[in-house]
Structure 1
């Protein structure tokens, strides 16, 4: 038996060398799972801080857009679409000491800068409407005509919003808003409804509806990305 020991040792060394040089098992190396879609969405809950947006009694647009924005971030994550927010608290980015148009412009510029700094490939700015001339509610999506891809994204999101129960059917529309005109990536302004329309007001203040609204927007983003 002692004369067999060297052969056993040689066999063991050969086995270890073969094990170290074998082809790796793909399943064993799948530690990091890449994102399902190659997109990075910047969610911008409109207004905040010094700027509450439109108001209706005790309701502020800034609070509603923030609530919807948080739900949208969660909905996108569930679809494996990476997203960040320009704000997660009631804050703004206006230059201190500024006011009026100057304050608003500095606030918007900083939000756009955040998109550039983070490497966002898409920008979704959330808002809530109010108009004494509106006879019906409904969510409405706006985009810049300068970017054909933005139109496709807008139509995809708008089509998913149409599927929400009791949603008034509005069309995606081109617009010349400052954000849309100055962002080189597909960008949308999404007016989630009208605070002064009774049905919309009830929906917009409902946490369950806010979640459904966010899920519809996320599905629109997913559909757009699949089509690309």
Structure 2
């Protein structure tokens, strides 16, 4: 593990923590049940967290050691990371969420590689949550009632340029360790999602950042590369409460903190029904990868939306060739992003993939992955808004069918799931009693209102049996498992 200052240690479960590998089922069980193995893994996680914190403090010019302890609740799949005295992030710096949330991702990754199943991670600071230190600032605003018919959404795609004080240098907010700049990549994902929501969900879509290629007059950078803060400043110069919350802050990167708050402030101003934030993730470890979706810890009512989006992303991404095994979390994660907290409407964050992992970087630059991932976001939202459950696409069993010679017969098909029309039913041959007499077919269905039925024909003069395999495939490439049945051509 990056940052650990000792030789590789073999924990009791047999894992090398310095180079994590997937734990076997027996290893997972042993770590969960063996107090010694559990304690060893937790101790290693504590050292990693302490090492990350020390580096973070050094980067901010603070030289001190802060104790770290970790407790894992295996029943609830949660982890509590407790920092001792000496570290308390504050409002100027957005409570270090751009440090703490990536730390949580890496700790989750290493815990799971060692056999400890973890989903939600939270932090204590000298025994208290941040909300206890800043009750007014971190209070979740009253939530609007979810409307039965939704009409509008805000798509917020990543960060963008900010100005550093006092020199007024312009810098992107996110690192690009492997050459992919989140600040300029994510807006293309926003374009994809906007088009899908407008077409498939029928909503009006607002954007938190400008997509203009003209130059921002103050920086000389393209408007499309600027953060939301400057876009909203141009739209609402008098609304400094929206985009300029820390005018007297001495922090160099105070406009980064203002930008985080500007996006949900804009969503509240618009009164949209949902806020969908798109990002790529980053980690100190190049091994951490995959798709994650976050909701705010104090807004559990947003979790169903987050889970629906994650489920639909998994379905559509893994339906694409080459992405069948792309890592996608099974459940959304609770965190404390300001971008989710401030919005008075359901608000979630999609971390599409990791810009710090080479395999994820390749995916992020692939138009196929971009389209599939955003189709998943839109579909997950649409199912949630309609009160539907995201479930796998599956064909019902098809009974064997007798068809009279030189006639045809319609056979109705049933399925579970929520496919995107048009659909195709693909019939392939498993066996045919007369060589060359049987033909595979594909039937397309455009109308979701009409029942699904295929026509089976026996056009030849003789009897026989063909065994067929049916697959239902939707417009997004999602396909059912094959269902086999027999068609017999019989004489009357």
User: Is the pair's TM-score, using the shorter chain for normalization, greater than 0.5?
Assistant: yes
- 1:37 Cα offset (Å): 4.8
What is residue 5 of structure 1 aligned with on the other side? none
Which of 160, 165, 179 is 2:312 aligned to?
A: 160
Between the aligned partners of 1:37 and 1:206, the Cα distance in structure 2 is 34
Determine whether 1:189 maps to 2:349.
Answer: yes
Contact 2:178 2:358 in 1 (8 A): no
Q: Deviations over 1:12-60 (max 9, x none)?
A: xxxxxxxxxxxxxxxxxxxxxxxx9514111101111233423134321
Determine whether 1:214 maps to 2:374.
Answer: yes
Between the aligned partners of 1:211 and 1:112, the Cα distance in structure 2 is 25
Determine whether 1:115 maps to 2:267.
Answer: yes
What is residue 32 of structure 1 aligned with on the other side? none
What is residue 138 of structure 1 aligned with on the other side? 290
Between the aligned partners of 1:226 and 1:134, the Cα distance in structure 2 is 38
What is residue 47 of structure 1 aligned with on the other side? 159
Structure 1 runs of 4+ off > 3 angstroms?
Answer: 94-101
Contact 2:295 2:333 in 1 (8 A): yes
Question: For residues 198 and 144 of structure 1, do their structure 2 counterparts lie closer, same or farther at Cα, with a shift above 3 Å needed?
Answer: same
- 1:136 Cα offset (Å): 4.2
Which of 188, 199, 216 is 1:67 aligned to?
A: 188
Between the aligned partners of 1:197 and 1:57, the Cα distance in structure 2 is 8
- 1:134 Cα offset (Å): 5.5
Between the aligned partners of 1:101 and 1:180, the Cα distance in structure 2 is 21
SS of alignment partner, residue 141 of structure 1: strand
Question: For residues 74 and 199 of structure 1, do their structure 2 counterparts lie closer, same or farther at Cα, with a shift above 3 Å needed?
Answer: same
Moved more, 112-121 or 40-49: 112-121
Contact 1:65 1:127 in 2 (8 A): yes
Which of 77, 82, 94 is 2:204 aligned to?
A: 82
Question: For residues 55 and 225 of structure 1, do their structure 2 counterparts lie closer, same or farther at Cα, with a shift above 3 Å needed?
Answer: same
Q: Which has the higher strand share?
A: 2
> TM-score by structure 2 length?
0.37
What is residue 22 of structure 1 aligned with on the other side? none
Which of 280, 285, 302 is 1:150 aligned to?
A: 302
Q: Deviations over 1:86-129 (max 9, x none)?
A: 01211121659975452122112222221122221111111111
Contact 2:313 2:374 in 1 (8 A): no
Contact 2:159 2:173 in 1 (8 A): yes
SS of alignment partner, residue 191 of structure 1: strand
- Which structure would you say has the larger Rg? 2
Unaligned runs of 5+ in 1: 1-35
Larger RCO (alpha carbons 8 Å, 6+ apart): 1
Between the aligned partners of 1:67 and 1:195, the Cα distance in structure 2 is 15
Contact 1:52 1:60 in 2 (8 A): no
What is residue 278 of structure 2 aligned with on the other side? 126
Q: Which has the higher helix share?
A: 1
Between the aligned partners of 2:252 and 2:279, the Cα distance in structure 1 is 19
What is residue 362 of structure 2 aligned with on the other side? 202
Between the aligned partners of 1:203 and 1:97, the Cα distance in structure 2 is 41
SS of alignment partner, residue 58 of structure 1: coil
Task: Output the aligned Cα RMSD.
Answer: 2.3
Between the aligned partners of 1:158 and 1:212, the Cα distance in structure 2 is 12
Contact 2:178 2:356 in 1 (8 A): no
Between the aligned partners of 2:178 and 2:297, the Cα distance in structure 1 is 36
Between the aligned partners of 2:274 and 2:151, the Cα distance in structure 1 is 7
Q: Deviations over 1:170-208 (max 9, x none)?
A: 131010111222222111111110122222111101123
Question: For residues 186 and 73 of structure 1, do their structure 2 counterparts lie closer, same or farther at Cα, with a shift above 3 Å needed?
Answer: same
Contact 1:39 1:122 in 2 (8 A): no
Between the aligned partners of 1:81 and 1:226, the Cα distance in structure 2 is 13
Unaligned runs of 5+ in 2: 1-147, 163-171, 212-223, 231-243, 389-492
Contact 2:283 2:354 in 1 (8 A): yes
